[in-house]
Copies of this chain bind each other. A is one copy, B any other.
Amino acid sequence: MTQWVYNFGGGTAEGNTTMKNLLGGKGANLAEMASLGLPVPPGFTMTTEVCTTYYDNGEVYPDGLDDDVAKGIAHIETLTGKAFGDPKNPLLVSVRSGARASMPGMMDTVLNLGLNDDTAEGLAKLSGDRRFALDSYRRFITMYSDVVMGVHHHTFEDILDEYKDNQGLMLDTDITPDGWAEIIGLYKDAVRDALGRDFPQDPREQLQGAIDAVFGSWMNDRAVVYRRLNDIPAAWGTAVNVQAMVFGNMGDTSATGVAFTRDPSTGENTYYGEFLINAQGEDVVAGIRTPQTLTKVARENMGDNEPSMEEAMPEVYGQLAATFAKLESHYRDMQDIEFTVEQGKLWMLQTRTGKRTARAALKIAVDMAEAGQITKSEALMRIEPLSLDQLLHPTLDADAPRDLIAMGLPASPGAAIGEVVFDSDKAELRAKAGHKVILVRTETSPEDIHGMHAAEAIVTARGGMTSHAAVVARGMGRPCVSGAGSIRIDEAAGQMSITGRIVKEGDIVTVDGATGQVFAGEVDMVQPELSGDFSKVMAWADELRTMSIRTNAETPLDVQTARDFGAEGIGLCRTEHMFFEADRLGYFREMILAQDKAGREAALAKILPVQRADFAAIFRIMADETKSLPCTIRLLDPPLHEFLPHSEDDIRKVAETIGVPASEMMARSRELAESNPMLGHRGCRLGISYPEIYEMQARAIFEAQIEVENETGVMPIAEVMIPLVSSAKELEILKKAIEGVAEDIASKGVAPEYIIGTMIELPRAALRAGDIAHHAEFFSFGTNDLTQTTFGLSRDDAGRFLPDYVAQGIVEKDPFVTLDQDGVGDLIQIAVERGKATRPDIKLGICGEHGGDPASIVFCHNAGLNYVSCSPYRVPIARLSAAQAAIMASEG
């Protein structure tokens, strides 16, 4: 018999932290905490299998579930000594979702369940606080009606506001217990009016409704979007946790809070969190009341007036601190914790591994490794490679002039510049149209996820460091300023005012999430200084990885940047980019327009010295006193028509400049036009048709090598790469021509040092790798084109339907971002196997954009590649990913 329900509480539990797939993160950790002897309100977890069975069976629960739930309730009753529905000593429970991966705010929660007209009065007697009891009851009616019954919470808020207006009251706390009783009556009438039935009084009926709602919320729109953005499969399902309520709102000895055991923004080893006295947990997370700090130091740092928890509740704070230590040492990682204090007693409601910024992740990993808490490998595995991107990008120039317009909390670090928008839909639209936008909201809610995703940065007028905006922005790596209280948004007018100053939608602002500042206009940026933690992590990664990391670069700036980031060579130097520069595009066009080989050679002769200088510049950067890093140079790849102007106007202008008749240029342009340029006359096909082009390029490479060797005494290492090969014979012919150039140069004195290889970027090249390897000393997988041809998918055109494909689960991820291991990867493995069979020591690399994608890098490691090559800013990501791949492989 499947066990559908797992109990916890009273110092033991049926589950534990390893059972996250079955119990969800929250349930597994509640069980673990209970077993550790921490004060956890007793409860039970309905497993994720209940959820998946429910959906697989057309929304029918599995047999036996009802009995298990009844036993779970009995278990809670036993441990608490309370009884569900008993007016004398009523048991109240919370019903919360809890998926395998955290999906904050995406699914439904019901608190205070078990209250009805009788138990509310019973709770009043028992607690001696009728106001608290009725406040809890009206909260329950609001939440339950909204979440379970579909009566919008505005209905109840309107009743409350109207009541206060009628009574001339300002604050909720001004309402008397009898007033609350009256309001509760109005609430119940409203439910009956809306639905034609009464608010349920039977706690078991309430429970079933709440369970239905929480499982149902797994499929709500918000959750579906969140899962898509975060790559969470729908098939995982959610667990549901039913747990005895504890109350942070039972007066001034009660409180509720959230905390991180370290600073999730910087990684500092100090407690970080917020709490509210006399409140329920939702009040903290929702960001409606501004919470107080946990520690005295934090209060002082923030210049806060309200006492910290350390000061207000020193004894409970001491218990909390001890619990933090116990949890961090048990879980060996920074924890994100929810707790409640009920009349002076601490209860733990949740612990989980805390989300953190990239900077914090680095610092925490390094600190814990250096303290011996975790190994270096574990430290490396803790850092999400893509998150490093946040550290590599520019920050505001300290010396740049700036015009500060608003100040809030530094909720998520990073700087960004963009147009102000006030609406998430609009943010998404503008971003799709290519604009950089800054989303400014009073506060954010789960409905804003898509807008936050589209924005460069997020600014909110309300909410703290753990508000929705802050948590989500940190998770997404977006800069965020939260609680910038001076901002007043007037959406209708399309503007905001900040202490009288008007900023209109579309105005440019600069956001600094590290300081919580917002500036008018653009503020100059500077390159990041990478912290010592970064260098340590990179050094550890370099120790552990076995693949080399190269870069795709051709401008001296990019080459230098990549080398600074630790690139160990160039994996792809795209020579055609050099032809697009103004000083040589004219010559190149001359070559295209030439009538014969002699004409082409004359034009190429003009390009030779320029291209030689380009290569020499690259070789200089890649050389030092003792050695030179290898540089893979790809010969001309794109079709010739890409170099000609296209509009009639441009053609006329360019023709005049070059001095040829416009009609001739138009004719040549028409002649060269292709139906499918991606599959056209390009790559080595040009080399076959016009050998003089590749010969000129080879000469430029070899002569540049000798020039740099003369200067430095070190011979640069050139790896000449032939693109778009589909058969061994192409390579054989072109290799012979290039070797001819090298021999010619060698005959005049010094021989250049080079090898010749090819890109594997067509399915046929992968299949014929065995033949091709006879002529290739290296293979570089060009996974951009290999993906296009393997899928029969043009990257330029796929944008129209690929999002649908991802949404419908036809492709798991965009195959141009993450390598399609099943198809393209299969071809790579075939090519590796066949290539090595011919030439066991063949050098293997990847130079498609997948070379900078962590999942793809793991694939490359496992496929036996020698290196990956990626864009300069991806080099650190690749170094870490390669180390993670090696660690995972060594751990099997």
A794 to chain B, nearest CB (A): 4
Query: 8 Å CB contacts to B: which residues of A799-849?
Result: 800-801, 804-805, 808-811, 820, 822-824, 826-827
The answer to whether residues A676 and B726 also contact, given A790-B763, A827-B763 and a CB cut-off of 8 A, is: no
Q: Are B793 and A826 in contact (CB under 8 A)?
A: no
Kindly state whether residue A608 has any CB partner on chain B within 8 Å.
no
Query: 8 Å CB contacts to B: which residues of A746-803?
Result: 761-764, 767-768, 785, 788-794, 796-797, 800-801
Q: Are B681 and A679 in contact (CB under 8 A)?
A: no
Interface stretch of the complex, out of A152-160, A377-385, A727-735? A727-735
Q: Of B730, B790, B792, B800, which contacts A810 at CB under 8 A?
A: B730
Q: Are A678 and B676 in contact (CB under 8 A)?
A: yes
Q: Are B685 and A801 in contact (CB under 8 A)?
A: yes
Kindly state whether residue A311 has any CB partner on chain B within 8 Å.
no
Q: Are A805 and B675 in contact (CB under 8 A)?
A: no
Kindly state whether residue A740 has any CB partner on chain B within 8 Å.
no
A785 to chain B, nearest CB (A): 7
The answer to whether residues A762 and B785 also contact, given A676-B678, A677-B676, A826-B767 and a CB cut-off of 8 A, is: no
Most buried by B among A726, A762, A827: A726
Kindly state whether residue A745 has any CB partner on chain B within 8 Å.
no
The answer to whether residues A762 and B791 also contact, given A801-B685, A801-B689 and a CB cut-off of 8 A, is: yes
The answer to whether residues A808 and B729 also contact, given A762-B790, A763-B823, A768-B822 and a CB cut-off of 8 A, is: yes
Q: Are B794 and A792 in contact (CB under 8 A)?
A: no
A801 vs B763: C-alpha distance in the bound complex, in angstroms?
A: 20
Kindly state whether residue A688 has any CB partner on chain B within 8 Å.
yes
Residues of B within 8 Å of A676, CB to CB, are 676-679, 794, 796-797
A678 vs B689: C-alpha distance in the bound complex, in angstroms?
A: 24
Query: 8 Å CB contacts to B: which residues of A150-201?
Result: none
Q: Are B674 and A797 in contact (CB under 8 A)?
A: yes
Most buried by B among A727, A733, A809: A727
Kindly state whether residue A99 has any CB partner on chain B within 8 Å.
no
Kindly state whether residue A484 has any CB partner on chain B within 8 Å.
no
Residues of B within 8 Å of A801, CB to CB, are 681, 685, 688-689
Knowing that A680-B797, A733-B808, A733-B810 touch, tell me 8 more A-B residue pairs with CB under 8 angstroms.
A676-B796, A679-B679, A688-B808, A727-B811, A730-B810, A763-B789, A767-B822, A789-B789
Most buried by B among A678, A767, A796, A826: A767
The closest CB in chain B to the CB of A679 belongs to B794
User: Number of residues in A with C-beta < 8 Å to the partner?
Assistant: 47
A808 vs B689: C-alpha distance in the bound complex, in angstroms?
A: 11
Q: Are B764 and A804 in contact (CB under 8 A)?
A: no
Residues of B within 8 Å of A341, CB to CB, are none
Q: Of B796, B810, B824, B826, which contacts A675 at CB under 8 A?
A: B796
Kindly state whether residue A38 has any CB partner on chain B within 8 Å.
no
A241 to chain B, nearest CB (A): 34
**A-B CB proximity, top 8 nearest:** A679-B794, A676-B794, A764-B823, A763-B763, A675-B796, A762-B792, A680-B797, A676-B678
Kindly state whether residue A868 has any CB partner on chain B within 8 Å.
no
Q: Of B675, B724, B797, which contacts A792 at CB under 8 A?
A: B724
The answer to whether residues A679 and B792 also contact, given A801-B688, A804-B689 and a CB cut-off of 8 A, is: yes
A639 to chain B, nearest CB (A): 9
Residues of B within 8 Å of A822, CB to CB, are 767-768
A interface list, Cβ under 8 A from B? 674-681, 685, 688-689, 724, 726-727, 729-730, 733, 761-764, 767-768, 785, 788-794, 796-797, 800-801, 804-805, 808-811, 820, 822-824, 826-827
A789 vs B791: C-alpha distance in the bound complex, in angstroms?
A: 8
Q: Of B733, B785, B789, which contacts A790 at CB under 8 A?
A: B789
Q: Of B726, B727, B762, B791, which contacts A764 at CB under 8 A?
A: B791
Q: Of B674, B767, B800, which contacts A823 at CB under 8 A?
A: B767
Q: Are A823 and B768 in contact (CB under 8 A)?
A: yes
A678 vs B676: C-alpha distance in the bound complex, in angstroms?
A: 7
Q: Are B729 and A788 in contact (CB under 8 A)?
A: no
Residues of B within 8 Å of A762, CB to CB, are 790-792
A796 vs B673: C-alpha distance in the bound complex, in angstroms?
A: 11
Q: Are B764 and A681 in contact (CB under 8 A)?
A: no
Residues of B within 8 Å of A685, CB to CB, are 801
The answer to whether residues A797 and B767 also contact, given A726-B791, A729-B810 and a CB cut-off of 8 A, is: no
A827 to chain B, nearest CB (A): 7
Enumerate 21 A-B pairs (CB-CB under 8 Å) in ascending A order: A674-B794, A675-B794, A677-B797, A678-B794, A679-B789, A679-B792, A680-B794, A680-B797, A681-B797, A688-B810, A726-B823, A727-B810, A729-B809, A729-B810, A733-B810, A763-B823, A764-B791, A764-B792, A767-B822, A767-B827, A768-B822
A126 vs B762: C-alpha distance in the bound complex, in angstroms?
A: 73
Q: Of B674, B729, B793, which contacts A726 at CB under 8 A?
A: B793
A679 vs B676: C-alpha distance in the bound complex, in angstroms?
A: 8
A797 to chain B, nearest CB (A): 4
A337 to chain B, nearest CB (A): 41
A824 vs B766: C-alpha distance in the bound complex, in angstroms?
A: 11
The answer to whether residues A688 and B767 also contact, given A678-B676, A726-B793 and a CB cut-off of 8 A, is: no
Residues of B within 8 Å of A730, CB to CB, are 810
A690 vs B472: C-alpha distance in the bound complex, in angstroms?
A: 35
The closest CB in chain B to the CB of A671 belongs to B800
The closest CB in chain B to the CB of A810 belongs to B729
Residues of B within 8 Å of A678, CB to CB, are 675-676, 679, 792, 794
The closest CB in chain B to the CB of A726 belongs to B791
A210 to chain B, nearest CB (A): 34
Residues of B within 8 Å of A674, CB to CB, are 794, 796-797
A174 vs B142: C-alpha distance in the bound complex, in angstroms?
A: 129
A51 vs B796: C-alpha distance in the bound complex, in angstroms?
A: 53
Q: Are B675 and A675 in contact (CB under 8 A)?
A: no
Residues of B within 8 Å of A811, CB to CB, are 727
A790 vs B786: C-alpha distance in the bound complex, in angstroms?
A: 10
Most buried by B among A676, A801, A810, A824: A676
A432 to chain B, nearest CB (A): 15
